[in-house]
Amino acid sequence: MKRLYRYLLLPCVFVASASHALPQDVSNVFDKNKRRLDAPPSELRSDDVGGDERYQVADESLNVIMQVDDNTDKKVVRVNPARSEQRQNSLQRYAFSGKRIFGVGFVGAGAYGIFGGEVDFGFGNEWSGGFGIGTGMAYSTWGIHARKYFQEGSLTPYFQAGYANWIMNRNPVRESEIYPLYLGEQFLMNSDGSWKVKKRIHLIYPAIGVLFQSSSGISFNLHLQYLISALDFTGALAGSFGLHFYF
């Protein structure tokens, strides 16, 4: 056991003797009571730097900069214009650019009856056109449309004109098979109360609406339309909504 203590004491004696062998300046560095550091070079002192430059933060990761006001000689925080411009460019990059090349989705109600599937093609930033097919339970539909957009952005109003073709393939057993019923009675029913089976109904309509489109390509629209029969020019008010994805 005594031999073990001897081996442990040997490194301590070696370190103690080595410290006495070090130069006095080096020993002072290791001794916190005698530690003395030289002053920094004069070119690094802030006395030679102007006030505006002294307090300006050059870190681009910050959104603000600190400066000295020339009138009050006080430090003030201002928005970093470079950082703000970078943030604005980032928002513009992820915002909707106004380009609608090709869209696919579905439309509920309106010219398609209950609902329909639709494709939409963009022609520049202001125009688009497309077609779709739908159903009203006892009758089937298809239609085409053209759309003019105003005030490009994520929320865009538009005007739409379209044509819809409706046909009843069979005589419905009950009125609940016709949706919506008030449009069916307006355009698919004869004056004697019978249904216009196997007769095509040609409808034209103007519409106004608004389109909301995100940068991801998903869009949602609402529009109000007035359906007009091309045969006798009777009309009925209708509305619809749509959900599309644009590529």
Give the pTM. Answer: 0.59
Model confidence at 81, in pLDDT bands (50, 70, 90)?
low
Q: Give 29-71 pLDDT, tens digit per residue.
A: 666 666 566 666 655 555 555 555 544 444 444 455 555 556 6
Q: What is the mean pLDDT of the chain?
A: 76
In sequence order, the 6+-apart residues with CB closer than 8 A to the CB of 17 are none
Q: Give 103-142 pLDDT, tens digit per residue.
A: 999 999 999 999 999 999 988 778 999 999 999 888 999 9
Task: Find out whether 99 and 165 touch, Cβ atoms under 8 Å.
Answer: no
> Average of pLDDT values for 150-175?
87
Residue 160 confidence (pLDDT) above 50: yes
Smallest CA-to-CA distance from 120 within 222, 246, 213, 216 is with: 246
Domains of the chain: 44-94 (no CATH), 102-246 (2.40.160.20)
Q: What one-character DSSP code corresponds to residue 72?
A: T
139-149 vs 102-109, strand pairing mode: unpaired
Choice between 92 and 237, residue whose per-residue pLDDT is larger: 237
